[in-house]
Amino acid sequence: MHNAKCTCWNCPAIDLAGKVDFRACGQSTKQFVKAADDTEETRIMGECKRRPELGLFDPMDMTFAECTEYAPGPYGYMLRDMRVMILGIDGYLGWTLALWLGSLGCKVSGVDNYNRREWVKERGAQTIVPISRMNERLRAAREVLGLNIDFRQIDIYSERDRFKEFVDEVKPESIVHYAECPSAPFSMIDVEHAIKVQENNVLGTLATLFTMRDVVPETSMVKLGTMGEYGTPLTGRPIFEGLFPADAVLQWEGREWSLGGEIVPRDPASFYHVSKVQDTFNCYEACKYWWLRSYDVMQGVIFGVDTDQVSADPRLRTRLDIDEWFGTVINRFVAQAVAGIPLTLYGMGRQIRGFIALRDAMECMTRLICSPPEPGQYAVVNQVSGIYSTRELAYIVAKTGREHFGLDVQIQRVENPRVEADEHPFEAIYERLPKEFGFAPQVALEDEVRKMFELFLTDEVRARIEERRQVIMPKTWWSGVKREVERLELLDLQGEIEEDERMFKINR
Amino acid sequence: MPHTRVLLEEGIFRQMRSTVPEISSVAWSSMITGTNPGVHGIFGFMDLFEGSYRMRFPNFRDLRAEPFWREWPGESVIINVPSTYPVEPMEGVHISGFVSVDMARSVHPAGLLDKLTEMDYRLDVDSQKAHSSMALFLSDLNKTLEARIRASRYLWDHVDWRTFMLVFTGTDRLMHFLWNAYEDERHVHHDFFLDHFRRIDEAVGEFCARMNDTDLLVMHSDHGFERLDWDIQINHVLKEAGFLAFEAGEEEVLRNIHPTSRAFALEPGRVYVHRRGKYPRGCVDDEADTIMADLEQVFSRLEVEGRKVIRDVYRAEDIYSGPQVEHGPDLVLVGAEGFNLRATMKARVLAERGIFTGKHTQDNAFLLVRPCGGEADLPEWPEISEVRTIIETMNPALAGVCGRRYA
């Protein structure tokens, strides 16, 4: 199992008590430097919050596999009844993860400020998969899955004192931070929206970091970043996982420097992406200053509707947005196919991105929650299960719609409202989750797309798509212009895809 | 140190033996319980979880014998006694000493916490400061001492105590780091070294002045000190002599010990025979005696620069007795003059020098007793675990509990 050899040093139940130098009968209750890499001259002492009877011990000595508080599960050794707090629990990912973790035996708590519901409403849109008010969602989780989710309506930034009280009350062993505005177009509407996104994301994360420092410093944070932080380097430089690998070298004027371990360059593509980059640095610094531990999850573009839990009952479904602000590309393509709108490629439509299905994303998150980083460690994973060009995706959706559901799906190129390269090389590295955390993608893109069609073609969802079909086409331009994009051409997709595969290395 | 000189003149002074090994956790546990490690169960700062190679740091909860304050009548004030963390409810006040990690669990009663915080009380000097700035470390040492004296003065006045125990631990840190400053009059910290002892002498004078004529005063150390010439790596000796090996290519930590290993050592000089059934990879059955005899030979012959390294090799049965003996080491080594014993698993050399210039000694701790009237009969060369019985014998108020541990 991938985390069998992790030790109490990684475990959030450890209370790091101090550093002792027994050679000089000396102690420090403030300094924690990993002892395993030195000559045993000093020792870190820890106490287990779950097993106080162990007294003080060397946290590097006991593995998860040896500890009675851990049990083997499908995603690695996991703390029994692990307390996980989900920030943004009302969202597409947050709600799905809450049910997923609860079904694995975690004690789930969560907060949300319902901003997402308001923002979608502001666009005149709605989640096409209907969701209830939180009280009803919680009741359904209790009735259908037997889960008791401890929820509070809290804004983690503006109500940070209340948030701190809640964290202190729950003492979560992992905090999953999904409480961010996930929309690039929303951040580009105007100055008010750009500020709103930065305030919600950057200041919310900052408030979370300070809360963790003060209340639960041993808790690990699993924070949602985005592959979009990296941009798409036109040189074709690989997109590493957050930090340069150990053997990366910078050469300049005949001289060389190691880049190993340094944060890789960021090239965000909207003020939303900038907020994520700022988060990255805030998390990185907090780990450095306060010995917090954090995974920054650079998630590819998410898609899909299915996990065992959200599919178990209509009342448990997670939200799904298809509007120009909050709909992700595959979700929007399927909705367009159902609504009879030609699938929209921006510009050349040769943007290449990493993608991951909802179910696979839940599995990755669980594996990360099970295996916290070491104290002081800021670690990054690229959470991606496949690489596709948007043309290729459009083709797959169109083909699935035509062949399996008898829909007449067309594809169009439209003006690109964004400032981005719409034709570029792309080599993303996403090795850590498979190699270090045992993740293997379970969801085939075509299968998930089929499930989406099945759901979207139900009477209720189809009607909700029709009701809001006018909000699918983009009207928000990075330049500030507000007008609907115009069609450039209808495509012969098969020919285009073959060309793409010749031009670019596609890491499927 | 004029106040101590007066006590030397008035009282009875003895050179005292510390425990084996001569480290604070073992020595103070022996003193407060009046028993040996075979009874109280504390054999070192570190130990292994039973049946594993996992390292733990025994604390007050692991003590298997009663400290005197649970048995003597009346309230006690106990300040800064090492290895008494976390504190437990008792009659009086208990502020634990090294290693204490959490202030809230170092103080009984909890209501005293605010007062101690107000007095800037510090559980211990932050020894890590010495690695970045000796000046900062020394400043911290003084602040810790002053706060300790302030707290002691307050408790002396505000608690209706029958027994008052105060331990100064700054002297130990000072001597580890700056024994060379003590020996060298030109050393930049020489005066600081002496001044620290003078300040303690002043405090001794102050508290002595507050005592009644009928009070019994006992001053003692838990070990002695001397110059440190060499750190000697015991596990390196075991590796070189073929007693200890680790799995090839694995980190040299105990959990990776090779199953053919016959012995290993824990700090400072505790040697354990790698017995089958006691350790997960143990291999030694009936040949333990032979192995110990071989080890005695190896260590007795050990020399560095022509000097004998090991003063004594003790077998457990020679120094320990009681129900906890089975949890202790099989052999305990005591270093010869100037040789400080270490048990680093990853050691690559036999002898090395670090930043410390002073080391504990086993045979020259001190005991000073000012009887509360009349003559006293002290052993010629007492051992630290006898201090409690000496007090019980000399203090009429404790007549009822006298000698309990040797009954």
Domains of chain B and any CATH numbers = 2-225+361-406 (3.40.720.10), 230-352 (3.30.1360)
A276 is catalytic: yes
DSSP for A169-231 reads: HH--SEEEE--S---HHHHTS-HHHHHHHHIIIIIHHHHHHHHHHHH-TT-EEEEEEEGGGT-
Nearest to B124 among A27, A54, A62 (CB): A27
- Chain B residues within an 8 Å CB radius of A39: 344, 346-347
Predicted local distance difference test score (pLDDT) of residue A37: 43
Written as six digits, the tokens of B263 are 């012995």
Parts of chain A belonging to CATH 3.40.50.720: 81-503
Catalytic annotation, pick one of A19, A164, A223, A276: A276
CB contact B212 to A (< 8 Å): no
Question: Can you tell me the distance from the alpha carbon of B4 to that of B70, in angstroms, rounded to the nearest whole number?
Answer: 30
Name A435's Cβ contacts closer than 8 Å, sequence gap at least 6.
Answer: none
Name A223's Cβ contacts closer than 8 Å, sequence gap at least 6.
Answer: A176, A177, A205, A279, A283, A294, A295, A296, A297
At residue A507, does pLDDT exceed 60? no
Q: Write down the residue that tokens 């409480």 correspond to.
A: A179
Q: What is the dihedral of CA A149, A153, A159, A160, to 10 degrees?
A: 10
Looking from the CA of A118 toward its CB, the CA atoms found within 13 Å total: 7
Q: Is residue B127 within 8 Å of B356, Cβ to Cβ? A: no
Instruction: Point out which residues pair with A243 in neighbouring strands.
Output: A263
At residue A396, does pLDDT exceed 50? yes
Question: Can you tell me the distance from the alpha carbon of B84 to that of B237, in angstroms, rounded to the nearest whole number?
Answer: 33
Give mean pLDDT, residues A466-479. 94
pTM score, whole prediction:
0.86
Q: Do B62 and A55 touch (CB under 8 A)?
A: yes
- pLDDT tens over chain B, length 407 residues: 999 999 999 899 999 999 999 999 999 999 999 999 999 999 999 999 999 999 899 999 999 999 999 999 999 999 999 999 999 999 999 999 998 888 999 999 999 999 999 999 999 888 778 778 889 999 999 999 999 999 999 999 999 999 999 999 999 999 999 999 999 999 999 999 999 999 999 999 999 999 988 899 999 999 999 999 999 999 999 999 999 999 999 989 999 999 999 999 999 999 999 999 999 999 999 999 999 999 999 999 999 999 999 999 999 999 999 999 999 999 999 999 999 999 999 999 999 998 899 999 999 999 999 987 766 788 999 999 999 999 998 887 776 654 444 33
Tell me how many residue pairs between chain A and chain B have CB atoms under 8 A apart.
107
B235 DSSP 8-state letter: H
Written as six digits, the tokens of A345 are 């490629």
Which CA distances in Å does A348 have to A178, B106, B142? 32, 69, 73
Helix (H, G, I), strand (E, B), or coil: what is residue A293?
A: strand
Helix (H, G, I), strand (E, B), or coil: what is residue B47?
A: strand
By the 10 Å C-beta count (0-12 exposed, 13-18 middle, 19+ buried), A246 is classed as exposed
Question: Can you tell me the distance from the alpha carbon of A56 to that of A46, in angstroms, rounded to the nearest whole number?
Answer: 5
SS3 content of chain A, % helix, strand, coil (to 5): 35, 20, 40
Please state, as a whole number, how many other Cβ atoms lie within 10 Å of the Cβ of residue A133: 11
Predicted local distance difference test score (pLDDT) of residue B407: 30
Which CA distances in Å does A362 have to A102, A299, B29? 12, 11, 52
A423 DSSP 8-state letter: B
Q: Do B173 and A25 touch (CB under 8 A)?
A: yes
Question: Can you tell me the distance from the alpha carbon of B29 to that of A496, in angstroms, rounded to the nearest whole number?
Answer: 81
Q: Residue A360: phi, psi to the nearest 5?
A: -65, -40
Residue A343: left (phi > 0), alpha (psi -120 to 50), or beta? beta
CB contact B24 to A (< 8 Å): yes
- Chain A residues within an 8 Å CB radius of B347: 39
What CATH code would you report for A81-503? 3.40.50.720
For A6-50, what is each residue's pLDDT tens digit?
A: 999 999 999 887 777 777 777 766 555 544 445 567 788 889 999
Which CA distances in Å does B299 have to B231, B232, B235? 15, 11, 11
A226 is catalytic: yes
Provide, rounded to the nearest whole percent, the portion of chain A with pLDDT above 90.
88
Q: Write down the residue that tokens 């002595």 correspond to.
A: B208
Written as six digits, the tokens of A322 are 């298809």
Nearest to A40 among B82, B340, B345 (CB): B345
Task: For chain A, list residues whose CB is within 8 angstroms of any CB belonging to chain B.
Answer: 17-31, 36, 39-41, 43, 45, 47, 54-58, 61-62, 66
Count the residues in chain B: 407
Q: Do A24 and B123 touch (CB under 8 A)?
A: no
CA dihedral over B234, B237, B242, B248, signed as positive or negative: positive
Give mean pLDDT, residues A165-180. 98
CB contact B53 to A (< 8 Å): yes
Please state, as a whole number, how many other Cβ atoms lie within 10 Å of the Cβ of residue B368: 18
Which CA distances in Å does A453 have to A305, A371, A465, B113, B302? 10, 35, 12, 65, 80
- Chain A residues within an 8 Å CB radius of B345: 40
Give mean pLDDT, residues A447-475. 95
A272 is catalytic: yes
- Chain A residues within an 8 Å CB radius of B61: 55
B58 min Cα distance to partner chain A (Å)? 7
Written as six digits, the tokens of B163 are 């027994």
- Chain A residues within an 8 Å CB radius of B56: 54-58
Q: Do A27 and B346 touch (CB under 8 A)?
A: no
Interface test with B, best of A7, A11, A15, A23 (most B CBs within 10 A): A23
CB contact B406 to A (< 8 Å): no
Which CA distances in Å does B374 have to A216, B155, B205, B386? 59, 29, 22, 20
